[in-house]
Every structure is written in C-alpha cells, then in structure tokens.
C-alpha cells in the first residue's frame, strides 16, 4: 500500500455563529429540542426506541389532526417527504393534476415526471393561490385523473391555498389528494381528516422548530390501499412505504429492520411534537397570527409591501417587496446577517432580488424577534 | 371548524437509557461529536455553513482516500447512499453484475431492478467473500455489463471482500464499479483512488461514530461523466446528483438551493471526520484490529466460534455462533441489554437465531468495552 493522501491541518472544530433564523426555514430551535437531540444514542431496534417511535406516531397524528395509522416520520428532509408521496402513489401512465404557483409546485411536477406519471398542469402566478376553478376545469377535461397535487403553503411566495376546497374536488372526482404542508403544519390549520387530505408531508425545520432533516408524513386509509395494491414496485427502495411501514409498525406486528433511523434527530422530533401538543395547535396558530400582525405593522411603517393579498397570506412566511430606497436587497440582507446575526430569506426564481421572505416559524415566532428585526431594519434604513 | 382531536397527556420527554453500542451500528458517539451536534442551528445557505461544507468535502476525500471532486454527504442514511449510487449510475436496460453474499448485496439487487437495470447475479454463500473467479466468469458471459456492484464489508455477516481485485476486473472490462463501504470506511482500508472504485458510499453511524442518518459518498470523474451524460433523467429528484452537486458546489460556482441540509447532523459529521483525520486512518485501522484481537481471544475462550474464515473477517464486525450451552440466543441478548445496558446485534435472514453480530466500530472500539462485554458474558454464562 502506498503512502496515504495527506491531511489538511487547517481544519478545526466548527463553531457556528449564533444566528436568529427569520428566513423560510430552518427556524430557531428551542433549548428543550436541542437537549433532546444530544441525548445518548441507542439502537434503532432497541425496545425503548421502538416505544418512542410509537409516541412519535401518536404525536404526528395530533399535529396533522388525523387518525391515520400510517403517520410517521421519513428519515430525510421535506423534499424526500414529497418524493415519498409521489413515488408511492403515482403509477406509471397515471394522470396527475399538478397545481403550480411557485417553486414547490414545480418540484411536484418534476416528481410526477420522474415517476412516469402524466401531468396535467394548473398554473397560477407566483404569489397567487391555486385557483379552484382552474382545478375544476382540469378535472372536467381529464376525468381520468387519479391524483390532485397542490402546495398548501408555498414556501417560495408565502401564499396559502384552499386545501379544504381542493381536497373536496379531488374526492368528488374519485382522485386522491396530495398536499404539501411543509410550511403550513403547526403554523396554520392543517385538518387532514376533516378536509380529506389523502397524503400530506411536512418538514422538521419550519413551524415545528426541530432540526432540519426529517419529514413527518401521513397517508389516509385510501392512500395506503393504493400503495399496497400497486401493480408496479415503488421505484425507490428507500422510500417504499410497503417496506417503511414494516419498520414503523402498524400497532400489531413486529418491527422489521429497513434502514437505520436517524435516532438523535427523532429524539428532537419527539420533543418538538410534544411541545406542540403541550402548547396546543390552537395556541400555536394564534401565536403565529399575532406575531405576523406585529411584524406587518412594523414592516409597512418602514415602507415594505406584501407580495400576497391579505386573505392568502401565511402568517409564518412574509414575502415582501423592499422599500424603494433599497437599490440592492442582497447588500441589506448581508448587513442583517453580519451585523445583527439575523437571517432573512431571499426570493427564488423570478422573485430573486425583488422580495424577501421573512419567516416567523415555530420558536422564531416571538415578539422579541419581531422587535429586534424591526429595530435592526430601522437602523439600517435610516 | 370542529373541535380538534385530543392529546395524549401520558407522553413525556424521552429519556433514553445510556447503552454501550456493540451491535452492527449505530456505534457509540464521542462527546466531541455530540457537542458538535447540538451547536446552534444556522441556515443551509449561510456563508459559514457553506464554508463548513467545503471542509466536510475535504475531510470526506481523506476518509475515502480520494481526490474525487464529487465527495460529499447525502442527507439521509446509508440506504439512501446506496440508492444514490444506483439511480445515478444505472440507466434502464443496462446490465449490472451484482454480487450477493448477504443482505446488502440483496438490497443492491433490489436497487438495480427498481432502476430498470438488468441484473447479472453472482451468488456466494453468506459468510463467504465474493468469489472473484465467479465475477470473471460473469464478465466473460456478459461482456456488455456496464457496472459491477459489490459490498466491501457485508454488515449481515462480517465478511470482507477483495475490493481491489474486483475493481480491477471492472476496469479491465470497461465497467464502472460500485462499492458498498458502509461498514468498512475507517475500520479497514478503503483506498478509493488506488483501487479504482468509481462510486463508494458509507454510513455515518458505523466506524465514523457519528449520529445515524447521513451517508458520505464519493464518485470518480468517470462516474460523474456518466451521471452528466445520461440519456434519461435520474428517477429520484431528491438523490439526483446533477442537482445535488449544484448545492454542494464544485469549488467554483455559486451554491444553488436544492433541499434543506440536515444542518446539525452535518456539524456532527464534520467533527467525526475531523477526529478521524486527527487520529489518522492508519491508527484507526490499527485500533480496530487490536480490539478485534482482544475480543476474539475472549470470545473463543467462552466457547463462541466465528462464522467467517480468518482472512476475510472484519475486525469491526464479529459474527459468531454462540456456545452450545446457549439454547435461546435472544434471551441472552436481552439480558445483556437489560442488565448491562449493552447492545449486540442479532443475525439476519437465515442466520436469525444462530449468530450474534458484535460491533467494534469507531468510538466503540476501546479495550474497556471489550473487557466489559467479556465480563458480562462470563457472568451470564456461568
């Protein structure tokens, strides 16, 4: 064996700065969640771990307001949660109505195509909600559509679409519904059973304020039946719910090893979901709404304007045009980061350079954060 | 809106027991890695985080002994690292020689099938290494095979196969090689460039002793070229390296958002890889070998017998038949867990109930752990 390739002695332990996370996610983590994260690692088949997973399932049901037995946490970020929904529910050749009013609707379309699905695209402008009339028209032209997919809370624009109406339309046309609730869960109502959502996924790092890297997912009994009666194998082994279910269990059978779960991240998710249950969903929604109002008044006084019309605004994600005096948004954004350790998000796609996305998600949604941001902006703008 | 579904007041914060992890992974986590894990979360596009990612890439190159520019960490467990290799490198209709001598070779086969590849299976008995002569014969019968896939260190049996010889064979036949190094990396030599491995993936929770949930991956320039010149899209959006590379960067261009990275887990990975660099690979391999010897002597004195012939044994994963006096292995295993907080692994597949898998991986490979296990076994067996 020849000599080994050398090492770089310049690298030392990483000491991240302590930021205030007011972008589109990740959000600030509560100390209780951080403490849970760093508890001793145990095995992914340890009886104590399996017991904790059962509690995570139950807490996930609460967060999604569902009795779905298939409620669990995918061992990867929200993008993988999205892919879980599509690769399990779409069979090659099936028609899928995909609503696209931002980045994440576009990502849904990518998923449909990569599953061999036949997309029927319903486009709405970025910053607008999904138009139910266009969806109705799509179902009329494509009565054989098997799935309706839409983003409940578009992270790229901060717009909320009417999940209840859309899911009802899907049901009336015998289609399953897939709802992206990455940014909505715990920030605004997500009533899975009442609205009849068939598959919903979220992200750990938004209004749940858990560390990034996990995706809570829930599937209705009708969706599970579809997964179990597929004619073709799910194209992803890692995300195949027929296999994942055997590890997460259905309350009866023995757990079968599928992959090594991200043990410590799941401790953190357990604690974050537990804190949500302690606060209650109603209080969490109300807290997000209240801080949004506080932020809105301050931002408008400083000359910011909202991208999204009031009825469709997400309280947890505020997309705003900057005051006219600001010629270069990235300069101001960098000053917030470097001088105030405060992160806000840039625009995506056509909105790059035009808007900011200011997050008030989960633990970030506190009055002191709103006030600190407004003070910092006031200082930098005057 | 109707009343919300109720909460379960029985659930409280999870306090895991402090186990000694001597199974097939996860392994024990060093306090430095745990400390890194719980440092303050920052944004996945924060310049400080991007700088840390560059260091992770460099440290990953060291661990794999490669100069491959595409060396990074997949945001999901080792199973997703495996899937990354297959979905990116296998195009529908391509022939792939898959070596199967345990669970993970079988999983590779599943991956080939789900990618639409045409598998040529080379079977060896569980507990035996991959037989290079059979691989040679497979290439002779299938000169159009595009890829050779094998498991370097079979986690289900504790056997090491000859990666160097197998990769050379692939090269001679104009095929790319995919090596599963989940259990080998840092425990025994993995010389990616010297051996000519085209795609290798590992797991965070084995000999790197990081928290479970991440998968370091490296691809050779030839493999990258294949990914970039595919005729079909990669079937997974989440694992498409054409997109992932734009986020991890190639040292020149701006980072493009792909998905939200598991920020805190990557802090831990940075620290674990840094500790490996500080110890050096040579010392890490030597430490694993030394603790294996210590364990072997003790286990054989207690009546355990190794499944794998000596030249092919992995020091970090010891598969052993139990002493004849033990009628029910699971009973003894549970006593180790409940009375000594010590986890060892059960057998998988046909070896269920017949063997144990005793891990000495990463930070677990310390003399005090070996001695404690031997003492505990001695007490329980007499």
pLDDT in tens, A94-112: 999 999 999 999 999 999 9
| Residue B292 and residue B169 share a domain | no
Q: List the helix and strand counts (H, then E) for chain B.
A: 13, 15
Q: What is the pLDDT of residue A254?
A: 73
∠ CA A265-A271-A272, rounded to 5°: 85
B208 at interface of A, judged by CB pairs closer than 8 A: no
Q: Which residues of B touch A271 (CB under 8 A)?
A: 13-14
d(CA B116, CA B130) in angstroms, rounded, equals 24
Q: How far apart are the C-alpha atoms of B325 and B146, rounded to whole Å?
A: 49
pLDDT recorded at residue B251: 54
- pLDDT band at B249, cuts 50/70/90? confident
- Least confident interval from A128-137, A253-262, A303-312: A253-262
Structural domain span for residue B52:
31-278
Please check whether residue A53 lies inside any domain of the structure: yes
A5 domain-assigned? no
The answer to whether position B193 is within a domain reads yes
Q: State both tokens at B315.
A: 């020091």
Retrieve residue A318's tokens.
Answer: 């505020």
Q: Which of B223, B252, B278 is at the close of a domain?
A: B278
Give the largest CA-CA distance in chain A: 69
Chain A, nearest residue to B15 by Cα: A39
Count how many pairs of residues, chain A against chain B, have C-beta atoms within 8 Å: 292
Contacts with A205 from chain B: Cβ below 8 Å:
41, 260
Residues of B in contact with A265 (CB under 8 A): 211, 213, 262, 264-265
A337-358 tens-digit pLDDT: 999 999 999 999 999 999 999 9
Q: Final residue of a domain: which of B278, B301, B334?
A: B278
Q: What's CA B352's distance to the chain center, in Å?
A: 21
Q: Check pLDDT > 90 for residue B6.
A: no
B13, part of any domain: no
Q: Do B14 and A38 touch (CB under 8 A)?
A: no
Chain B residue closest to A81 (CA)?
B238
Residues from chain A contacting residue B34 (CB–CB below 8 Å):
38
In chain A, the residue whose alpha carbon lies closest to the alpha carbon of B76 is: A76
Same domain, A230 and A252: yes
Reported ipTM: the value is 0.97
Does A194 share its domain with A298? no
Angstrom distance (rounded) from CA B195 to CA B337: 40
B residues 215-234 near A, CB within 8 Å? Answer: 233-234
Q: Is A191 on the interface with B (CB under 8 A)?
A: yes
- A288 near A331, Cβ under 8 Å? no
What's the CA gap between A113 and A110, in Å, rounded? 5
B168 plus B153 within the same structural domain: yes
Judge whether A212 is closer than 8 Å to chain B, CB to CB: yes
Residue B178, H or E segment: strand B176-180
Whole-number Cα distances in Å, A222 to A177, A198, A219, A226, A252: 10, 7, 8, 6, 20
Count other Cβ atoms within 10 Å, centred on residue A294.
17
User: Best interface-test mutation with A: which of B14, B191, B192 has the largest number of A CBs within 10 A?
Assistant: B14
Residues B152 and B54 in one domain: yes
DSSP B29: P
HEC string for chain A: CCCCCCCCCCCCCCCCCCCEECCCCCCCCCHHHHHHHCCCCCCCCCHHHHHHHHHHHHHHHHHHCCCCCEEEEECCCHHHHHHHHHHHHCCCCCEEEEEECCHHHHHHHHHHHHCCCEEEEEECCCCCCCCHHHHHHHHHHCCCCCEEEEECEECCCCEECCHHHHHHHHHHCCCEEEEECCCCECCECCCHHHHCCCEEECCCCCCCCCCCCCEEEEECHHHHHHHHCCCCCCCCCCCCHHHHHHHHCCCCCCCCCCCCCCHHHHHHHHHHHHHHHHHCHHHHHHHHHHHHHHHHHHHHHCCCEECCCHHHEECCEEEEECCCCCCCHHHHHHHHHHHHCEECEECCHHHCCCEEEEECCHHHCCHHHHHHHHHHHHHHHC
Residue A176 phi/psi, 5-degree rounding, is -85, 155
Backbone angles phi, psi at B2, to 5 degrees: -75, 175
Q: Are residues B206 and B290 in the same domain?
A: no
Tokens matching residue B293: 């010897």
Tally of CB atoms within 10 A around B133: 8
Residue A9 lies in a domain: no
Asked whether residue B237 falls in the same domain as residue B285, the answer is: no
Residues of A whose CB is below 8 A from B115: 235
pLDDT digit string, tens, across residues A124-173 = 999 999 999 999 999 999 999 999 999 999 999 999 999 999 999 999 99
Please state, in angstroms and rounded to a whole number, the distance separating the CA atoms of residues B349 and B340. 27
Rounded-to-10 torsion of CA A333, A335, A340, A344: 10
Enter the tokens of residue A237: 């082994």
| Inter-helix orientation angle A47-64/A263-279, to 10° | 40
Kindly state the average pLDDT of the residues B6-25: 93
The percent of chain B in helix, strand and coil, each rounded to the nearest 5, is: 45, 15, 40
Compare all CA atoms of chain B with the CA of A233 and give the residue at the minimum distance.
Answer: B114
Tell me which DSSP letter residue B148 carries.
E
Three-state SS at B353: coil
The beta-carbon neighbor of A19 closest among B1, B42, B107 is B42
Kind plus residue range of the DSSP H or E element containing B21: strand B20-21
Contact B215, B203 (CB under 8 A): yes
Whether B274 sits inside 8 A of A191 (CB atoms) is no
**Tokens (6 digits) for A56:** 């995570």
Return residues 129-168 of A near B (CB < 8 Å): none
Number of domains comprising chain B = 2
A78 vs B35, B213, B260: nearest CB: B260
Task: Provide the pLDDT for residue A256.
Answer: 85
Query: Are residues B309 and B338 both part of a single domain?
Result: yes
Q: What is the pLDDT of residue A158?
A: 98
Same domain, A177 and A125: yes
Closest partner residue to B236 (CB to CB) among A8, A48, A114 is A114
What average pLDDT does the structure give for chain B? 96
A94 shares a domain with A148: yes
Residue A8 lies in a domain: no
Distance between CA B163 and CA A243 in Å, rounded? 30
In chain B, the residue whose alpha carbon lies closest to the alpha carbon of A259 is B79
Q: CB of A315 within 8 A of CB of A288?
A: yes
Over 80: is that where the pLDDT of A250 sits?
no
Instruction: Pick from B23, B41, B202, B334 the residue to mutate for testing the A interface (most A CBs within 10 Å).
Output: B41
| Residues facing B140 on adjacent strands | none
Q: Residue B302 — very low, low, confident or very high, per pLDDT cuts 50/70/90? A: very high
Residue with more model confidence, B201 or A8: B201
Q: Are B241 and B219 in contact (CB under 8 A)?
A: yes
Residue B6 included in any domain: no
- Contact criterion met (CB below 8 Å) for A41 and A258: no
Do A194 and B2 make contact, defined as CB atoms within 8 angstroms?
yes
Among A48, A62, A80, select the one facing B238 at the smallest CB separation: A80
Residue B12 located in a structural domain: no
Three-class SS of residue B205?
coil
Candidates A11, A27, A58, partner chain B, best to mutate (most B CBs within 10 A): A11
pLDDT score recorded for residue A251: 54
d(C-alpha A311, C-alpha A128), whole Å: 11
Within this chain, do residues A58 and A99 fall inside the same structural domain, yes or no? yes
B213, B355: one domain: no
Q: Any CB–CB contact under 8 A between A2 and chain B?
A: yes
| Range scoring the smallest mean pLDDT among A266-280, B22-36, B162-176, B237-251 | B237-251
pLDDT category of residue A2 using cuts at 50, 70 and 90 = low
DSSP B290-303: HHHHHHHHHHHHTT
- Find, among A199, A253, A243, the residue nearest to A222 by Cα: A199
pLDDT one-digit tens code per residue, A199-234: 999 999 999 999 999 999 999 999 999 999 999 999
Residue A235: its chain B contacts at CB < 8 A?
114-115, 235-236
Residue A253 pLDDT? 57
Would you call B236 and A237 a contact, using CB atoms and an 8 Å cutoff? Answer: no
Over the Cα atoms of chain B, what is R_g?
21
- Mean pLDDT, all residues of chain A: 96
Of the three residues A223, A243, A277, the one that is the final residue of a domain is A277
Q: Which chain B residues contact residue A194 at CB under 8 A?
A: 1-2
Condensed to tens digits (0 to 9), the pLDDT of residues B361-376 reads 999 999 999 999 999 9
Between CA B10 and CA A149 the distance in angstroms is 36
Could you give the CA distance from residue B49 to residue B44 in angstroms, rounded to a whole number? 6
What pLDDT does A7 receive? 73
pLDDT for the residue numbered B254: 73
CA distance linking residue B229 with residue B234, whole number of Å: 11
CB-based contact A43 B19, cutoff 8 Å: yes
Q: What number of other Cβ atoms are within 10 A of residue B18's Cβ?
A: 11
Q: Is B364 in contact with B188 (CB distance < 8 Å)?
A: no
Contact B42 A80 (CB under 8 A): no
Residue B17 token pair: 């027991």
Chain A nearest C-alpha distance from B358 (Å): 13
For chain B positions 15-34, those within 8 Å of chain A (CB to CB) are 15-19, 21, 23, 25-26, 28-29, 32, 34
Q: Which of B21, B26, B28, B119 to mutate to test the interface with A (most CBs of A within 10 A)?
A: B26
Interface of B with A in 265-294 (CB under 8 A): 265, 267, 270-271, 274, 277, 280-282
Buried b (16+ CB within 10 A) or exposed e, B217-255: bbbbeebbebbeeeeeebbbbbbbbebbbbbbbeeeeee
Residue A330 is part of a domain; what is its CATH number? 3.90.1150.10
* Residues A126 and A169 sit within 8 Å (Cβ to Cβ): no
- Looking from the CA of A249 toward its CB, the CA atoms found within 13 Å total 17
| Domain containing residue B104: CATH number | 3.40.640.10
Chain A, 318 to 347: residues with Cβ < 8 Å from chain B are: 337, 343
pLDDT in tens, A166-189: 999 999 999 999 999 999 999 999
- A60's tokens: 């996930």
Which pair of tokens denotes residue A373? 């941001």
């Amino acid at each position: 064996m020849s000599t080994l390739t050398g090492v770089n002695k310049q690298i030392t332990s990483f000491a991240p700065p302590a930021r205030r996370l007011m972008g589109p996610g990740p959000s600030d983590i509560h100390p209780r969640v951080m403490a849970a994260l760093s508890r001793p690692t145990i095995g992914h088949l340890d009886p104590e771990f399996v017991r904790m997973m059962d509690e995570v399932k139950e807490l996930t049901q609460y967060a999604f307001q569902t009795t779905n037995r298939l409620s669990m946490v995918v061992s990867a970020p929200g993008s993988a949660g999205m892919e879980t929904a599509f690769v399990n529910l779409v069979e090659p050749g099936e028609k899928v109505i995909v609503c696209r009013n931002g980045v994440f609707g576009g990502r849904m379309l990518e998923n449909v195509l990569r599953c061999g699905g036949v997309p029927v695209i319903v486009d709405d402008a970025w910053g607008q909600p999904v138009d139910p009339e266009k969806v109705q028209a799509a179902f009329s032209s494509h009565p054989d559509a098997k799935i309706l997919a839409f983003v409940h809370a578009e992270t790229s624009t901060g717009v909320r679409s009417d999940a209840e109406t859309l899911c009802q339309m899907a049901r009336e046309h015998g289609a399953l519904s897939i709802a992206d609730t990455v940014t909505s869960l715990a920030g605004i109502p997500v009533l899975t059973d009442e609205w009849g959502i068939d598959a919903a996924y979220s992200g750990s790092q938004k209004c749940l304020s858990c560390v990034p890297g996990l995706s809570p997912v829930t599937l209705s009994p009708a969706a599970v039946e579809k997964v179990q009666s597929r004619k073709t194998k799910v194209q992803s082994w890692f995300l195949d719910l027929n296999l994942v279910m055997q590890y997460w269990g259905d309350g009866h059978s023995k757990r079968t090893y599928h992959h090594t779960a991200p043990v410590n991240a799941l401790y953190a998710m357990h604690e974050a979901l537990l804190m949500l249950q302690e606060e209650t969903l109603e209080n969490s929604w109300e807290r997000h709404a209240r801080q949004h109002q506080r932020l809105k008044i301050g931002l408008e006084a400083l000359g910011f304007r909202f991208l999204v019309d009031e009825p469709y605004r997400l309280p947890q994600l505020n997309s705003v045009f900057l005051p006219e005096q600001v010629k270069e948004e990235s300069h101001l954004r960098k000053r917030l980061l470097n001088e105030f350790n405060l992160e806000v998000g840039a625009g995506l796609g056509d909105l790059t350079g035009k808007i900011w996305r200011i997050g008030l998600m989960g633990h970030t949604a506190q009055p002191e954060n709103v006030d600190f941001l407004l003070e910092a902006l006031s200082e930098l703008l005057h």
